[in-house]
Chain A
Amino acid sequence: MTLSPKFAISFQANTGQMWLYEPGGTVATTGFGMGAQTSPSVIGLGDAPYGNSYQIAFNAPSSLYTYEPGGWVTNTLLGPAPATSPSISPG
């Protein structure tokens, strides 16, 4: 479970899926399953001028994924160590 300074909270719900909560807004599952005992990490992107406002990194059981609003999902094909979590930074 991580908290972006501005945009959203992402967390692994007790369903095992990644959920996204935007303060003052909506909460919804992204539909993506996560590795056991792992947490997602989220940052704001501030993309100009028409890009996505945040990006989430999370460990699916077999691979590191990134998720952006609108359902843009990328499989990095990078296998994570068991029960560890990624951390994402603006750069």
Chain B
Amino acid sequence: MVSVSVTHQTTRDGLRWAAIWFAALLMLGMFSFARAASAGAASVGMQFSSHDYNDDSEEWAVLGHSGAQIFRVPFTPGDSENGNNFGYYDRVFELAAKQGVTILPNVGGRMNNEVGLPSSGEQAGWTEWIQKGFRRYGYNGLFWQQHPELPYRPAIAWEIWNEPNNAAISGTTITASQFGSFIKWAGPAIQSTSQSYGGQSTGVVMGGLLAWSTQTNWQTYLSSAYAAAGPSSITGIAFHPYELDTSLFPGKSRLQALKDVVSQTRSFVSGLQSGAGAAESLWITEYGWPAQREYSVSEQEQASLLKESVSWLQGQAAALNLHSILWYNYRDTSFDNTWAYRSGLRDEVGNYRRSWFAFEEAVGAPRWPIATTAIQANTGTLWLSQRNGGGGNTGVPMKAGTSPSIGQYNGSYKVAFQGTNGNLWYYTPATGAVNTGLGMASGTSPSITALQNGMIAFQGNNGNLWYFQTGGPVVDTGYGMKPKSSPSISWDPKRNRYPIGFQANTGELWIYEPGGFVGTTGLGMAPETSPTIAAVDGRSNEPNFTIAFQANTGQMWLYQNGGTVASTAWG
């Protein structure tokens, strides 16, 4: 697991508010709980495939449009400095609450950061840590008291561990008996705190067993672990029904295989410990189908599977006592080169797969994003035209003969353009038009990253390549550009770089990456033309971006980082 640096210090654990405030908060809390999981309905949500993005405000601005009700986040001693600094989680819970999303903490990890379960010697310290975490983010949590400006979205359940029956995830073998023995003290540590501090019971879920068709003997594992833990230690059981390998369910569709395993799991759990298991709720905290790599389905099939599975699971939620349906996952990463990091509703670059829109439809969220075009109209002002018929005249004048550049930004969009005063301007629905005060070369246009971050590249009025980000850097790169040409910028998430393609004052195609590669491709460009660049989703050993440009032959050429060059032969 990747460690995340923490910047804030928790200072007010002892802070308490007046009784009247608590009453109001608890009333609000009951309302929020109803929203997260109304009776008979399971909360539908998702998660990241690694926790690189969990505290990224721009990602949460996008997630807020998805309609997700619950989001699963690893909750570990390591990411909270063993309970001494919850700054990282403060940010996660804040960002989620602002989007109306409830966090499902996926509790795991040890006080010494080693793999495996906490040892008996760690029990006291681990218990103190998780109880501190509960008192911060659970019912009546200090975090919510300290932030009355936020919607009240306490954790409604705590899922303990992730795939203990999967040594590849745990980093070591955890036996069912060991896991059950751990749950036996860890579960009550959370529940007792909820009852004494939070004033009500919370969900304590035994965690996330990998249910890979019939291959993990997971039911045997569950039975043994449950026997060791005892029914009173938990309120529910989480599992990950992955029906990916069609050779394991011959003659069945993927959807039918999922239906069967979920139904069978309910029956199996209900029979545990002479029927004691019937009281346990079920939580699907991971499931999904990848759109790339092994076990992949087409993007259209992924979307259909998502929509049909959510519909069926919601319809069966009351009968199954099913409390969560969490799609794995929100977005691809290059964390590893397997299906597990290619199951996203968005690909690694950030393109929206069909499954993104299927998710919105499944939960009844309004369609978003909606394709938006920016244009300098014949009024000389910036207009926006949206695919749903929206948009209109912003009334903001633009420099004649220049073009705007629009990119998605912070759950909305941002347009960069040259204003009539020759400066770089940008426009967002939230800010309106903003003059950056940065001069641009005559007859040139800026370029903004397409899918996030709002980084802008432009030719400055000194003829050099510049880049600019609101609240971030303003840099004159010192590299001269050909007059009347414009740069093109992209964001490469694989390397967290911003490659810029531009026609240098030599007439050649150059590449500039802030903090990275700078140099010429050696390829001549047609006069007064500009390249266009895009990050490319792919394997780690494949190109990160492609540039299309008009070569000095008059034909369109393609250049990929790594040096691959090809003429399309089209004039």
Contacts and interface: CB of A to CB of B under 8 A. Distances in A.
Contacts of A1: 532, 548-550, 556
B361 A90 contact: no
Contacts of A49: 300, 303-304, 307, 354, 357-358
B349 A89 contact: no
B432 interface: no
Contact of B376 (A11, A57, A66, A81): A81
Chain B interface size, as a band, is: 35 or more
Q: Which of A47, A88, A89 has its CB near the most chain B CB atoms (within 10 A)?
A: A89
A52 to B, nearest CB: 10
B374 interface: yes
A91 to B, nearest CB: 3
Contacts of B358: 48-49
B535 A46 contact: no
B357 A47 contact: yes
Contacts of B375: 57, 59, 64, 78, 80, 84, 86-87
A60 B350 CA distance: 30
Given A64-B385, A76-B385, A81-B400, A46 B356 contact: yes
A17 B114 CA distance: 62
Interface string A26-42: 01000000000001010
B380 interface: yes
Contact of A55 (B387, B400, B558): B387
A6 B536 contact: yes
Interface string A67-91: 0000000001011111111111111
Contacts of B398: 81
B403 A86 contact: yes
Contacts of A3: 532-534, 546-548
A86 B300 contact: no
Contacts of B300: 49-50
A90 B352 contact: yes
A50 B490 CA distance: 29
A23 B566 CA distance: 11
Q: Specify which of A1, A46, A55 lies most central, judged by the most chain B CB atoms within 10 Å of its CB.
A: A46
A88 to B, nearest CB: 5
Given A14-B571, A46-B356, A87 B374 contact: yes
Given A19-B570, A46-B353, A46-B354, A5 B373 contact: no
Interface string B478-508: 0000000000001000000000000000000
Tier of interface size on chain A = 35 or more
A2 B548 CA distance: 7
A48 B361 contact: yes
A87 B547 CA distance: 17
Interface in B281-298: none
Contact of A90 (B385, B408, B570): B408
Interface stretch (B192-200, B219-227, B243-251, B363-371): B363-371
Interface string B289-331: 0000000000110011001000000000000000000000000
B351 A46 contact: yes
Contacts of B160: none
A27 B370 contact: no
A14 B438 CA distance: 35
A85 B570 contact: no
Contacts of B34: none
Interface in B529-571: 532-537, 546-550, 554, 556, 558, 568, 570-571
A79 B371 CA distance: 19
Contacts of A78: 375, 377, 383, 385
Given A2-B532, A48-B358, A48-B361, A90 B451 contact: yes
Nearest to B571: A14
A48 B385 contact: no
A88 B373 CA distance: 4
A21 B568 contact: yes
B450 interface: yes
B373 A57 contact: yes
A47 to B, nearest CB: 6
B534 A84 contact: no
A44 B405 CA distance: 16
A84 B251 CA distance: 57
Given A43-B371, A79-B377, A91 B386 contact: yes
Contacts of A45: 352, 371
29 contacts: A2-B532, A3-B532, A3-B533, A3-B548, A5-B351, A6-B351, A6-B534, A21-B568, A27-B570, A39-B403, A41-B373, A43-B371, A44-B351, A49-B300, A49-B304, A49-B357, A57-B375, A64-B373, A64-B377, A66-B373, A66-B385, A76-B385, A81-B377, A81-B401, A85-B403, A88-B406, A89-B373, A89-B374, A90-B369
Given A6-B534, A49-B307, A90-B451, 13 more contacts: A27-B570, A46-B299, A47-B357, A48-B307, A49-B304, A81-B378, A81-B400, A86-B404, A87-B375, A89-B450, A90-B351, A91-B371, A91-B413
Interface of A: 1-6, 9, 11, 13-14, 19, 21, 23, 27, 39, 41, 43-51, 55, 57, 59, 64, 66, 76, 78-91
Interface of B: 299-300, 303-304, 307, 347, 349-358, 360-361, 368-378, 380, 383, 385-387, 398, 400-408, 412-413, 415, 445, 450-451, 490, 532-537, 546-550, 554, 556, 558, 568, 570-571
